Structure 1
Amino acid sequence: MAALRNMRSLAINLSLVALVILAVEPYGSFGSSRGVPFHFKTDYNGNGNGMCASAVAVHGYKCQEFEVTTDDGYILSVQRIPEGRVGGGGGPNRQPVLLQHGVLVDGVTWLQNSPEQSPAMILADNGFDVWISNIRGTRYSRHHVSLDPNSPDYWNWTWDDLVVHDLPALLGLVFEQTGQKIHYIGHSMGTLMALASFSEGKQLDKVKSAALLSPVAYLSHMTTALGVVAARAFVSEITTIFGLAEFNPRGEPVSDFLKALCAQAGVDCYDLITALTGKNCCLNASIVDHFLKNEPQSTSTKNLVHLSQTVRDGVLSKYDYGSNDFNQAHYGATKPPRYNLTNIPHDLPLFLSYGGQDALSDVQDVETLLDYLKFHNVDKLHVQYIKDYAHADFIIGITAKDIVYNQIISFFRNQG
């Protein structure tokens, strides 16, 4: 039993390290595997001007800024690209699409490439009404009706809360503004939010279809070349980081932890992203540089703990408070309730795309997810497997337009 507990503890630490460095080390841009390899740009690409001004309007697109307040008081920033730069059709009732980013990034992740290669602009140019989400805690969504982001109480949430509070607010805003059901695109944790919500019968009255890229409902096989070294050397440092309510990759405690990790023998920070997420096939240096100007973003440490629990337990559950008594107080049961993905309506149109080189959304874990969807209506489930793709290729790969987004556009249009 002790050995089993140790293995589970190891899995938690592996998952947290992987999730952190996924965002912090974007795509092999560290200068050295010794010394001080972590270098973040401080530009943040027009932080004070809003995302529309800094990342959309500069390319000649119309863009509107919205705010929506969740029912627990978080004020979320939402951007709308109502039409394409050069038309794109769609008429007066252009179909709305909500783009939901993953963990440790924000909505700018959909706007990193040129307009011809950025998902948000590709969709706008193809006749869709594009809405971009920024979840609580990210740079444009750090406001609350009463809580200060410098307070630990502001960061007392996990992705459960994104499912219960953020997602309904975001979809409600789009539905209210457009009067139409919404196509949803999620990447990484954005897929987890949707699947959990759909499994509980939530938001189905507002969602027309969903495209899930690099789905991460299950993470049991998320193993990396760096993981063994990280877990062996830094189990104690993980507990120190857990003392932080806000997990800020640009902050000194996290930065020091990651610098120390890169100083370990056998760890090559030149190619850390490959060691962690698999070999992305289709990124270029200019996109890496642009990414570093905008990401990573903060999340709550509690959120990372929750994601780590998914690795440890091999099931998709609500947050585990760590004791039978605490769980009983929160859930009326000694174990946290599970999200049952077999409850997702079989007639909900779903598009799933995953990569053969993705070490974070591992093929075996995606196959587990697909097994839960095995009774889905055949004509409502489209599965795309891309042998050469890894985690980042789906969002900022230079070939994603031709390989992924053209397929998604066809899928959406086929839903009527």
Structure 2
Amino acid sequence: MHKNIILLGFQLWIICLLGLTCGFIFKKDIIITNAVKRIRRDGYPVEDHKVQTADGYVLTMHRIPILQKSQIYDKPPIAFLMTGIYASSDAFVFSGKDGSLPYMLSDLGYDVWMGNNRGNVYCRSHAFLTSKDREFWNFSWHEMGVYDLASMIDYVLKHTGQSSMHFVGVSQGATILLVLTSLYPEYNIKLKTAQLLAPVAYVSNMKGPMARIFAPILGTRNVLSMALEGSEMISTNNFFKELLALNCKDENFRICVSRLWPAVGYETKYLNKTLLPEVLANFPVGGSFKQMMHYLQEYNSGRFQQYNYGQLGNQVIYNSTDPPSYPLHKVTVPVFIYYSQNDYIVAVKDVAKLVKQLPNVHAVFKVPWKKWNHFDFICGLRVKEIIFDKVVDVISNYNILFNNIKKRNKI
């Protein structure tokens, strides 16, 4: 009895201490994976839209709609944004109303949509499975490309009555775009431009130690990797994320960023420290082991290829002992690539290899800052100036050119 009272008292003391810490560190509330609340707080209208994929997953997209009819366009052009692995649409608005890409595009009259993939906190429903079923988690980013992205693009175009859109993909967001447009080339004409920020495709030169440590085990076909194919990789526990976020003061910066080091690396010169509480409160937000294992397979093989199920499994699924490579020569959408020298995930050599395989690369932008890393493409210092302004310029220049051609054809 006395032990229970002491334990209860200790728990209450911890809760009070966390409450005091929370009040001391922050002047504003931390929003944990609630894009609707976050966007409304920043003063923008927002809608959420649900779409069911061909294999039964129910996905949520977030839209910042146009409230006033454009003076320039008959219909406002669409910008569709996809973020990276184990992240959600919240990542695009970490920087607030003055530095987030969706708000920049919305201010210029674009109809902005942000997608989410199966398994993250917004996409944990299914037509006949639950998130407790192993089969629910038996997916990699291959399925995200051929099912999730295809379903979202089709829904947005049907809902808006338009025939094409601009696409911006970060990290895994770029991966799934390459999967879809290479295997289903008809989707190329549904995209006006594809801007790929830190695109993950070839990864054999990845600098991050995570690949070297885990690829020999999880990037090969064995009892452990097969057992993990139906497992959730990342928990979406809000309490745990809140604890991490609430204790990320400047003096704890290195402790906090250590949770991100597989992507960030050890050199975090340009990571925006003021955004760390927001990042840790909203990343990671759910995903499968199979996503990571698919990348580790590619680290071992040096190829951009479909999931490797072993010789027997591949023979059944692909009618070949080896998984087929994605036919990147079929990606005909105009591609714009952004990369950096200090990216622990996307090495410069791998970017060069990707550029050689794509037939319609219009421009390749190298970040001028040598220490810029993978996470900085979302929340780096001056990311608006270094990355987002260029993204907006590419989209705007395309629309100006398209409108001029359209006007000439009417004369």
Aligned counterparts, 1:11-410, within 5 A = 45=31, 51-52=35-36, 54-83=37-66, 91=73, 93-180=75-162, 181-200=164-183, 201-224=185-208, 242=228, 245-249=231-235, 272=258, 273=260, 276-278=263-265, 279-322=267-310, 324-345=311-332, 348-373=333-358, 375-376=359-360, 381-388=362-369, 389-410=372-393
CA distance 1:122–1:293, change in 2 (3 Å): same
- Matches of 1:44 and 1:144, distance apart in 2: 29
Correspondence for 1:28? none
Q: Offset at 1:283?
A: 2.5
- Give yes or no for contact 2:62–2:114 (8 Å, CA) kept in 1: yes
| Equivalence for 2:4 | none
Listed one character per residue, the Cα deviations across residues 374-396 of structure 1 (whole Å, up to 9, x for unaligned) are x53xxx61110013221111111
Stretches of structure 1 lacking an aligned partner (at least 5 in a row): 1-42, 256-267
| Counterpart secondary structure, 1:130 | strand
* 1:248 partner letter: I
The 8 Å contact of residues 30 and 278 in structure 2, kept in 1 or not, is answered as no
Q: Which has the higher contact order (CA 8 A, sep 6+)?
A: 1
Question: 389-398 vs 58-67, which deviates more?
Answer: 389-398
Q: Which amino acid aligns with 1:349?
A: P
Supply the RMSD in Å over aligned alpha carbons.
Answer: 3.1
Name which one, 1 or 2, has greater alpha-carbon Rg: 2
Q: Aligned partners of 1:232, 1:318: CA distance in 2, in Å?
A: 18
Are the equivalent residues in 2 in contact too, given 1:87–1:125 (CA < 8 A)?
A: no
| Regions of 4+ moved over 4 Å | 86-92, 225-241, 268-271, 273-276
Query: Could you tell me the percent identity over the aligned residues?
Result: 28
Structure 2 CA distance for aligned equivalents of residues 88 and 404 of structure 1: 26
Structure 2 contact 90–282 (Cα < 8 Å) conserved: yes
TM-score (norm 2): 0.77
- Paired residue total: 349
Corresponding letter in the other structure for 2:327: N
TM-score, normalised to structure 1, is 0.76
CA distance in 1, matches of 2:226, 2:325: 29
Preserved CA contact (<8 Å) 1:274 1:280: no
Question: Residue 91 of structure 1: CA displacement?
Answer: 4.8
Residue 413 of structure 1 is matched in structure 2 by 396
2-side partners of 1:250 and 1:80: how far apart? 23
Structure with a larger share of its residues in helix: 2
For residues 70-99 of structure 1, what are the alpha-carbon distances to aligned partners after superposition, in whole Å with 9 as ceiling and x for unaligned?
011100001110138x99975551110111
